[in-house]
Structure 1
Amino acid sequence: MPVPPADPPFQDPALDPQHAWAYRPASPLPGAPDGPLSGLSFSVKDLFGVPGWPQYAGTRAPLPDFGASVLVRRLLDLGASAVGKTQLHEIALGITGMNAFGGTAHPADPARIPGGSSSGAAVSAALGQVDFALGTDTGGSIRVPAAWCGVVGYKPTKGHAAWSTKGVLPLSWTCDHAGPLARDLATVVRVHEALSGDRVQSRSWSGVRVGLWLPQNWVTAEVAQAVLSFAGRLEARGALTTPVELPEMLGAYTPIVLSEAAQVHAAALALSDPGFTPFTLGLLRQGQALSEDAVREAHALRAEYRAALDDLWSRVDVVLAPAVPTPPPLRGQEEVALPEGPVLLRRAVLRLSAPFSLLGVPALALPSSLPFVGVQLVAPRGADEPLLGLGLGLDI
Structure 2
Amino acid sequence: MTDATSAVPDPQRAWAFRPASPLPGAPGGPLSGLTFSVKDLFGVTGWPLRASTRAPVPDPGPSPLVTRLLALGASAVGKTHLHEIALGITGVNGFSGTDHPFLPGRVPGGSSSGAAVSVALGQVDFALGTDTGGSIRVPAAWCGVVGFKPTKGHPAWPTGGVLPLSVTCDHAGPLARDVATVTRVHEALTGRAVSEVALGGLRVGLWLPGGWVTEDVRVALRDVAGTLTGAGATVEDMDFPEVLDAYSPIVLSEAAHVHRDALRHDDPGFLPFTLASLRQGAALTDTEVRAAQERRAAYRAQLDDLFTRFDLILAPAVPTPPPAQGQDEVLLPDGPTPLRRAVLRLTAPFSLLGAPVVALPTRTALIGAQLIAPHGQDDRLLGLARTLERTLGLA
State whether structure 2 residue 216 is matched by structure 1 residue 222: yes
User: Which runs of structure 2 are paired with 1:1-396 in the superposition (5 Å)?
Assistant: 10-12=5-7, 15-394=9-388, 395=390, 396=395
Conservation of the 8 A alpha-carbon contact between 1:366 and 1:375:
yes
Comparing 271-280 with 299-308, greater Cα deviation is found at 271-280
**Distance in 2 separating the partners of 1:347 and 1:381:** 25
Q: Residue by residue, what CA displacement relative to the aligned partner does 1:194-253 show, whole Å, maximum 9, x if unpaired?
A: 001121101100000000000000000110010000101111111100011000000000
Secondary structure class of the residue paired with 2:6: coil
Conservation of the 8 A alpha-carbon contact between 2:120 and 2:145:
yes
Conservation of the 8 A alpha-carbon contact between 2:4 and 2:19:
no
Counterpart residue type for residue 78 of structure 1 = L
**Distance in 2 separating the partners of 1:100 and 1:140:** 21
Alpha-carbon distance, 1:11 to partner: 2.1
Q: In the alignment, which residue of structure 2 is the partner of 1:3?
A: none
Q: Residue by residue, what CA displacement relative to the aligned partner does 1:104-149 show, whole Å, maximum 9, x if unpaired?
A: 0000011100000000000000000000000000000000000000
**Distance in 2 separating the partners of 1:355 and 1:122:** 21
Conservation of the 8 A alpha-carbon contact between 2:116 and 2:143:
yes
**Distance in 1 separating the partners of 2:98 and 2:104:** 9
**Distance in 2 separating the partners of 1:212 and 1:161:** 29
Alpha-carbon distance, 1:272 to partner: 2.8
Output the TM-score relative to the length of structure 2: 0.97
4+ residue segments displaced more than 3 Å: none
Secondary structure class of the residue paired with 1:42: strand
Q: Residue by residue, what CA displacement relative to the aligned partner does 1:4-42 show, whole Å, maximum 9, x if unpaired?
A: xxxx974247x1001000000000000000000000000
**Distance in 1 separating the partners of 2:314 and 2:384:** 12
**Distance in 1 separating the partners of 2:284 and 2:267:** 21
Unmatched runs of 5 consecutive residues or more in structure 2: none
**Distance in 1 separating the partners of 2:386 and 2:87:** 32
**Distance in 1 separating the partners of 2:11 and 2:246:** 38
RMSD: 0.9
Counterpart residue type for residue 379 of structure 2 = E
**Distance in 2 separating the partners of 1:112 and 1:11:** 23
**Distance in 2 separating the partners of 1:393 and 1:277:** 43
Output the TM-score relative to the length of structure 1: 0.97
Conservation of the 8 A alpha-carbon contact between 1:96 and 1:114:
yes
Counterpart residue type for residue 109 of structure 1 = L
Alpha-carbon distance, 1:313 to partner: 0.6
Conservation of the 8 A alpha-carbon contact between 1:9 and 1:22:
no
**Distance in 1 separating the partners of 2:273 and 2:331:** 22
Conservation of the 8 A alpha-carbon contact between 2:43 and 2:161:
yes
Conservation of the 8 A alpha-carbon contact between 2:54 and 2:270:
yes
Matched residue count? 388
Conservation of the 8 A alpha-carbon contact between 1:126 and 1:183:
yes
Secondary structure class of the residue paired with 1:321: strand
**Distance in 1 separating the partners of 2:190 and 2:296:** 28
Conservation of the 8 A alpha-carbon contact between 2:128 and 2:173:
yes
Q: In the alignment, which residue of structure 2 is the partner of 1:5?
A: none
